[in-house]
C-alpha cells in the first residue's frame, strides 16, 4: 500500500483536461473526466511520449508522438504501437485537494 500525495486542487483541472505531475519520481498523468479524477503512468510504453500532453476524448488519451491510445480509467493500451499498458493509480479528493496514491 502506498501513500497519498497532493498533486492538485479541485478547480485546477477542467473537465476533459489533463495535467502531468511527478509523484515520488514517477511521471503521472492526472485526468478530469466529467468531474471524476483518474491517474495513469504518464509515459507511453511505445517511445516514451508524454501522455499528459496527449489529446483526451472521452476516457481515451492519445499519445502525441505516434498515436497510441490508452484508457485513462485503467491504463490499458487500446491501440498500437504501444506494446503494453501503463500503471493506474488510485485517486481521492480530500476537501479541495486531489491526491494520488503511489509507493
DSSP assignments along 67-99, one per residue: --EEETTT--B-STT--S---EE-EEEETTEEE
Domains and CATH numbers, the chain: 3-102 (2.102.10.10)
Instruction: Give residue 2's pLDDT.
Output: 86
Q: How many residues does the chain have?
A: 103
CA distance 35 to 93: 11
pTM of the entire predicted model: 0.95
Describe the chain by its helix, strand, coil percentages, rounded to 5. Answer: 5, 50, 45
Q: For 28-87, how does the pLDDT look when each residue is reduced to its tens digit (9 = 90+)?
A: 999 999 999 999 999 999 999 999 999 999 999 999 999 999 999 999 999 999 999 999
Q: For 13-44, how does the pLDDT look when each residue is reduced to its tens digit (9 = 90+)?
A: 999 999 999 998 999 999 999 999 999 999 99
Q: Which residue has the cell 511520449?
A: 49
Higher pLDDT, 24 or 97: 97
Amino acid at each position: 500500500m502506498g501513500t497519498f500525495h497532493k498533486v492538485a486542487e479541485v478547480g485546477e483541472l477542467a473537465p476533459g483536461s489533463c495535467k502531468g505531475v511527478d509523484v515520488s519520481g514517477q511521471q503521472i498523468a492526472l485526468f478530469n473526466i466529467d468531474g471524476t479524477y483518474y491517474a495513469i503512468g504518464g509515459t507511453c510504453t511505445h517511445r516514451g511520449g508524454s501522455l499528459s500532453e496527449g489529446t483526451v476524448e472521452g476516457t481515451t488519451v492519445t499519445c502525441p508522438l505516434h498515436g497510441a491510445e490508452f484508457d485513462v480509467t485503467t491504463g490499458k493500451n487500446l491501440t498500437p504501437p504501444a506494446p503494453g499498458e501503463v500503471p493506474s493509480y488510485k485517486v481521492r479528493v480530500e476537501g479541495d485537494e486531489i491526491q494520488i496514491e503511489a509507493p
